[in-house]
A and B are shown apart, each in its own frame.
Chain A
């Protein structure tokens, strides 16, 4: 289908401007809809932006990603996050009234952290959204503590032998979240761009952050 020629567009790129080449059929239809609906005063493009943003934040882990990106750019924030995660998260304007007691564990050279709840399914859902089914399932709950390296290989992550894996079993009121290491090649990225690299899986500890695409 012709829309595949646009696969190389980064879906996160948001170009409020002009289109460099002719739109595909489906793009033209979507543009037609939006431009006409705006002209008729039925909706605004800001409304559409807001829905996409709210929806992704409401259900996904964007809150956690913002916390991680801030910790990557601000060394003092990182320190405060590790000492008192609830207070630090509150600094970003996130509501903390319903926030369970959060504990952030940091990956560093030589240490990789992983979260599980063997007894049920405790999860830091206030910053990561609702947990995926696999997290709540018997295979993960039983094996993450017993053979974390094998489990990580199944997720496509290889941890070197000389790196210590620390598995955290969330058996109490504390909810754990992993602070992944900042990928290399990101020195000139903004905080918002950094947040895009942070995946939900990297904050559980079964994945690593995305690596930025090669810059020209």
Chain B
């Protein structure tokens, strides 16, 4: 675990949605997106600050998107920018899920 908790650098309009202090995920996928980003940036192969910058970008360019949509897009950008996965792989896999060829959830 890194010395600085990533959560403390998410302030203002970057702040994680909470209700009275507790984290709020409106759907399970939001929790997964949250967990994946932290898994890979908090002592993992990717840099937290890079993710944070991408999140700032997303919020700026897509202000009407809901928070975790912005988060998801930022994480996709991080993973593809770093070469861990390609856009094509992600799009193909997502299509398989949408068409129900694949149905394993986490």
Q: In their complex, do chains A and B touch, with some C-beta pair under 8 Å?
A: yes
B60-100 contact mask (Cβ, 8 Å, vs A): 1 or 0: 00000010110010011001000011000111011111111
Cβ of A66 to closest chain B Cβ, rounded Å: 14
Interface string of A54-97 (1 = CB under 8 A from B): 01100111000000000000000000000000000000000000
Q: B69–A30 contact, CB under 8 A?
A: no
CB interface residues, B 33-68, toward A, < 8 Å = 33-36, 38-40, 42, 44-45, 66, 68
Complex interface residues of chain B between 1 and 55 (CB less than 8 A to chain A): 7, 20-36, 38-40, 42, 44-45
A27 to B76, CA, bound (A): 13
Q: Which residues of chain A come closer than 8 Å to B23, judged between CB atoms?
A: 55-56, 59-60
Q: How many residues of A contact B (CB 8 A)?
A: 48
A160 to B90, CA, bound (A): 56
Among B20, B30, B45, B98, point to the contact of A132 (Cβ < 8 A).
B20
- A47 near B27 with CB under 8 A, answer no
Task: Indicate whether A22 reaches chain B with its CB closer than 8 angstroms.
Answer: yes
Q: Which residues of the other chain, A, contact B39 by a CB distance below 8 angstroms?
A: 43, 47-48, 51
Q: Which residue of A has the minimal Cβ distance to B35?
A: A48
Q: How large is the interface on B (under 10, 10 to 19, 20 to 34, 35 or more residues)?
A: 35 or more
* CB-CB nearest in chain B for A30: B29
Q: Is there contact, CB below 8 Å, between A31 and B105?
A: yes
Instruction: Give A35 to B76 CA distance when docked, in angstroms.
Output: 13
* Extra 6 A-B pairs, beta carbons < 8 Å, given A27-B27, A28-B95, A31-B93: A11-B31, A25-B94, A32-B94, A33-B75, A36-B93, A61-B22
Residues of B at under 8 Å CB distance from A?
7, 20-36, 38-40, 42, 44-45, 66, 68-69, 72, 75-76, 79, 84-85, 89-91, 93-100, 102-106
**Interface CB pairs A-B, < 8 A, 20:** A11-B27, A11-B28, A15-B105, A18-B105, A22-B99, A23-B97, A25-B98, A27-B27, A27-B29, A31-B29, A31-B97, A33-B72, A33-B85, A40-B85, A42-B40, A48-B32, A51-B35, A51-B38, A59-B23, A61-B22
6 closest residue pairs by CB, A with B: A48-B35, A32-B93, A30-B29, A32-B94, A28-B97, A28-B94
